[in-house]
Amino acid sequence: MKNILVIPHSFSNKIKIREVEIAKLLRSTENNVYCISFGSNHELDNLFNKLKYQLSSVFKQISLTEKDQIKYIDIPYIFRPISLARKFNSAIIKKIAIKYKIDIIINSSFGQVSLIPLKNHNVTKIYDMVDFISENSLSKYIKEELSVYDKYISSSNMLTQFIKKNINDNNKKPILYLPNFADLKSIQDVLKSDVDKLKCELCLKKTDFTICYIGNHYDWGGSELLIKAFTMFNKKHLDSKLLIVGPGPEISRLKSQYCNNKSIIFTGPIEPSKVKFYFNMTDIGVLPFQKITLTDNALPIKVLEYTAANKNILATELNELKTHNFPNVDFVKNNVKAWEKALTDAYKKRKDLKLKDYKNVVQEYSSDKIKVKILEYVKND
């Protein structure tokens, strides 16, 4: 029996976190899985809230709770300043690794947790690179930190190249390309009656052209750009509705600013098990991300989920996304006029869109396929 500790880059009860989902995939008769948790009942969507939680967290006791065959270890956690956070959090992780006789650590929290203190400890260290490391305050740690790990996991092709460029072992250490993934079958198995029920609850007509932007809405998410484009589009197409689905630091401001437009619906946070109904309800998926280092080097999970629901997608021209050549993704320039035109074109083709079948396009990104890969990767450690 192997003891595996997963350290996520963030933690939430409201949205799915990649590393927590990886922890679930690692459950088996051969693995005993632990997962670090912090701030699970707090809003940690901006630095102010993180620091507020940090002050309340510092002196709390470490606790362990088991759920669905995963042992969640809730710990005091520091976010800033970076130098203090790495020392404080890493000391706690080292204690946990020794106490629970951890064999494998999968770390995604590069900024706040360093495994350098465990450099000589008998544990296999795996780094799961989820986001591009662009903060100047972190850049000085990159090469030293990455050199400590025995293996790497990368969530995108772009990040794989970044790891190869920044490790000093002539690329001898293994790197597993493990793209973002989702429970696609649960989306594909949604019943039409459940979708109709949701439309009724939201007071949507069967004839409405529905656009759902599903996600966690940060300033780089492009929600306001989309709303502006939709407002122009909606003047000519009164049977259209825009749903901004999910939480995020931008929601309060945007909801207040556009409260008079009855064609825009802000749902707020949705229980993760119910989000699948929204993917099936929408006529088209949208991803109006700003083109920044973070978004340009990632494969958005929402692309997989929209595709599993057999939807066409309008998306910003993101480098990583373009490498995957999804046949249902149309790229849009990152400005209001381009998005208004893209929405208009999608509206004109709305009947044809329903005749397409894209479900097989994303099967390699299903949880079942990814589970086989990650279990094999840790098998011999």
Residue 83 corresponds to which amino acid?
S
Question: Do 211 and 152 share a domain, yes or no?
Answer: no
Question: Do 352 and 284 share a domain, yes or no?
Answer: yes
Q: Count of domains in the chain?
A: 2
Question: Do 141 and 240 share a domain, yes or no?
Answer: no
Question: Do 251 and 110 share a domain, yes or no?
Answer: no
Q: Supply the pLDDT for residue 46.
A: 63
Question: Do 235 and 158 share a domain, yes or no?
Answer: no
Question: Do 258 and 151 share a domain, yes or no?
Answer: no
Count of CB atoms within 10 A of residue 159's CB? 24
CA distance 290 to 315: 10
Question: Do 106 and 176 share a domain, yes or no?
Answer: yes
Range of the domain at 271: 184-361
**pLDDT, tens digit (0-9, with 9 covering 90-100), for 256-312:** 999 999 999 999 999 989 999 999 999 999 999 999 988 998 999 999 999 999 999
Q: With b meaning 16 or more CB within 10 Å and e meaning fewer, what string describes 165-184?
A: eebeeeeebebbebbbbbbb
**pLDDT, tens digit (0-9, with 9 covering 90-100), for 330-363:** 999 999 999 999 999 999 988 776 667 887 889 9
CA distance 187 to 185: 5
Residue 331 corresponds to which amino acid?
F
Q: Supply the pLDDT for residue 286.
A: 98
CA neighbor of 275 nearest in space, from 196, 198, 367: 198
Provide the CATH number for the domain around residue 219. Answer: 3.40.50.2000
Give pLDDT < 50 ranges for the chain: none
Count of CB atoms within 10 A of residue 377's CB? 18
Question: Do 292 and 348 share a domain, yes or no?
Answer: yes
Residue 160 corresponds to which amino acid?
T
Contact 308, 188 (CB under 8 A): yes
Question: Do 240 and 319 share a domain, yes or no?
Answer: yes
Q: Which residues contact residue 11 at a Cβ distance below 8 angstroms, ignoring those fewer than 6 apart?
A: 17, 20, 36, 37, 38, 39, 40, 44
CA distance 1 to 116: 25
Taken as a whole, the chain contains a residue count of 381
Question: Do 357 and 374 share a domain, yes or no?
Answer: no
DSSP state of 246: S
Q: Give burial (CB, 10 Å; 0-12/13-18/19+) of 380.
A: exposed
Question: Do 213 and 351 share a domain, yes or no?
Answer: yes
What is the value of pTM for the model shown? 0.88
Contact 98, 117 (CB under 8 A): no
What is the Cα Rg of the chain in Å?
22
Question: Do 163 and 40 share a domain, yes or no?
Answer: yes
Element (H, E) at 62: none
Q: Supply the pLDDT for residue 135.
A: 54
